[in-house]
Amino acid sequence: MQFDLSKAKDGILLVDKPVGWTSFDVCAKIRGQIRAEYRARDEKPTKRQLKVGHAGTLDPFATGLLIILLGEATSRAGEFSKLDKEYEATIHLGKTSTTGDLEGEMTNVSNRQPSETEVQAALKQFTGEITQIPPAYSAIKINGQRAYKLAREGKEVEVPARKVTIHSIELIEYSYPEIKIRTNVSSGTYIRTLAQDIGAFLGVGGYCKELRRISIGDRVL
């Protein structure tokens, strides 16, 4: 897959991240493209020209907007880190996942089918300022180490709770066992955790099956 670097403006490139790629994969691929372009001109890029970063990680199973920063623009990452974000997500009911998404180990919880009225009521419960406990399989640092690394090593991970704001949740479609939603959230909100909490509130369990980031602040794909 090639990324269209000509669309970068002021060192900012909006990328539609494909499923299966890490945010680091995208940065590495773009860095390789930059090297190849200079090589084709028989030139060698400077370290500054090879600087590639991103402004907000997307999980490998997720797709959508990844803001890539090139060269001197990498210093602007902080400008984007606290911006609100909008997502579309599919919550699969009836099971839980160790990772909160379809890549984890699944556990069957319940085959009860909540009504749409119950689903709407659940979504209202998670609108506004709420408390979340981010997933153990996350990039949050615990005593200097990434939580997901500790979790993969089989170590017990205690991630502290945090306050986040769910500005809105819209039910797009409900066809058991899947709930499709569109949500606008504050920085630091984990949609995987939101999916798990909605499933738990309904008493049937749930995990995030699909996730797509639509916007970061006023940046839209």
pLDDT tens readout for residues 129-187: 999 988 765 556 555 655 555 446 555 666 678 899 999 999 999 999 999 999 999 99
Options 10, 59, 84, 218, the catalytic residue: 59
Residue given tokens 């970068």 in the structure block? 8
pLDDT > 90 fraction of the chain, expressed in percent and rounded:
77
Location of each CATH 3.30.2350.10 domain in the chain: 5-81, 85-220
Token reading at 81: 């880190």
Instruction: Give the mean pLDDT of the chain.
Output: 91
Helices (H), the chain: 23-40, 77-81, 116-125, 147-152, 191-202
CATH superfamily, domain at 85-220? Pseudouridine synthase (3.30.2350.10)
Per the annotation, the verdict on 10 as an active-site residue is no
pLDDT value, residue 140 = 60
SS3 state of residue 220: strand
The arrangement of secondary structure in 5-81, i.e. its CATH architecture, is 2-Layer Sandwich (3.30)
